[in-house]
């Protein structure tokens, strides 16, 4: 995959290539455009200009057609910070609905596939529950199952654990780790530094709409020569120390 954006209000000249099966994490201060970047990829936000190449799909965002937007979205899946589970549907209906509506699968086929996905994320005992009776961690796992059920070529995680209570973060990270290790091309925006370091093939440090540094986890977290990257990580880890002391 190759994406590039230009002359955008939030993102200023992003250029990035990701290989199939690669796991790429985006770190950086809040308000830097990490989420915007992710949402530009599947056109939830409209970049002023830019190009994307995803598998056999080659698109120019400037004159993109409705049909292209749908094709792009059908190749990608997104997991949201606020989960965004459909509140009027049960857990399994949440996972099934897009397969029926978008992929035109039969009900039985969608049910079977959804059941398998929910089994993977450990929610078999919850399939007929409504979202209001689930915890944040469970909702996020439904979100992941819903995305994976469409067999996307690329999955986008937008701060998937930022809205969770601390004790629920772990269960979601374990599921994301499994997805990443399964060979799915994964882009992850996160503030969980240790997690990003352990699962990523590549880490991108962003600031003020720019990519400051791209490198292997070791390069970014241990051996970064970049002043901004080091400042950011130092600040992050000293904050974490402070929190531990309290």
Partner 1 sequence: MFDLKASYDMFLGILGLLPKTLLLAVTILILSTLLGIVIAIIQQYKIPVLIQLIGLFKLFLRGTPMVVFLYLMYYALPAMGQLIISLLGINYNMNNMSPVIILIVTVSLTLSAFQSEIIRGAFLAVDYGQIEAAHSLGYSFYQTFTRIIVPQAFVHAVPDFANSFTVAIKATSLGFLITVIDIFAKAKIMAAQNFRFVEAFLMVALIYWGAGILITKIADRYENDVRIK
Helix ranges restricted to H, the chain: 34-41, 66-75, 91-101, 107-120, 136-148, 166-181, 193-199, 217-221, 227-245
Say whether 212 sits in a helix, a strand or coil. strand
The binding site for partner 1 (CB under 8 A) comprises 42, 44, 70, 73-74, 76-78, 80, 82-88, 97-98, 101-102, 130-133, 143, 146-147, 150, 156
**What is d(CA 176, CA 206) in angstroms, rounded to the nearest whole number?**
22
Nearest 5°: the CA angle 56, 58, 60 is 170
Give me the least distance between CB of 44 and partner 1, in Å please.
6
74 or 210: whose CB is closer to partner 1?
74
Min dist CB 114 to partner 1, Å, is 13
Check residue 18 and report its DSSP letter: -
Minimum CB distance to partner 1 smaller for 87 or for 246: 87
Instruction: Give the shortest CB-80-to-partner 1 separation in angstroms.
Output: 6
Nearest approach, Cβ of residue 158 and partner 1 (Å)? 10
Report the 10 Å Cβ neighbour count for 245.
Answer: 6
Choice between 25 and 76, CB closer to partner 1: 76
Nearer to partner 1, 149 or 203 (CB): 149
């Amino acid at each position: 995959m190759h994406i590039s954006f230009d002359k955008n209000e939030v993102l200023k000249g992003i250029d990035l290539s990701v290989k199939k099966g690669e796991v790429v994490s985006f770190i950086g201060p809040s308000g830097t455009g990490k989420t915007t970047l992710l949402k530009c990829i599947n056109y939830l936000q409209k970049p002023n200009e830019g190009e994307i190449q995803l598998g056999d799909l080659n698109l120019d965002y400037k004159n993109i057609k409705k049909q292209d937007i749908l094709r792009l979205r059908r190749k990608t899946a997104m997991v949201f910070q606020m989960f965004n589970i459909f509140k009027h549907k049960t857990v399994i209906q949440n996972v099934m609905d897009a397969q029926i509506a978008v992929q035109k699968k039969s009900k039985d086929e969608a049910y079977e596939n959804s059941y398998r996905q929910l089994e993977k994320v450990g929610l078999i005992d919850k399939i007929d529950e409504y979202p209001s009776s689930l915890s944040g961690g469970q909702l996020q796992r439904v979100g992941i199952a819903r995305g994976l059920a469409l067999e996307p070529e690329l999955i986008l995680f937008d701060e998937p654990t930022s809205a969770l209570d601390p004790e629920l973060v772990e269960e979601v990270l374990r599921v994301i780790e499994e997805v990443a290790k399964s060979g799915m091309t994964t882009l992850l925006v996160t503030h969980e530094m240790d997690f990003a370091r352990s699962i990523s093939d590549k880490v991108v440090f962003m600031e003020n709409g720019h990519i400051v540094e791209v490198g292997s986890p070791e390069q970014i977290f241990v051996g970064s020569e970049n002043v901004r990257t080091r400042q950011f990580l130092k600040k992050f880890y000293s904050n974490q120390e402070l929190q531990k002391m309290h």
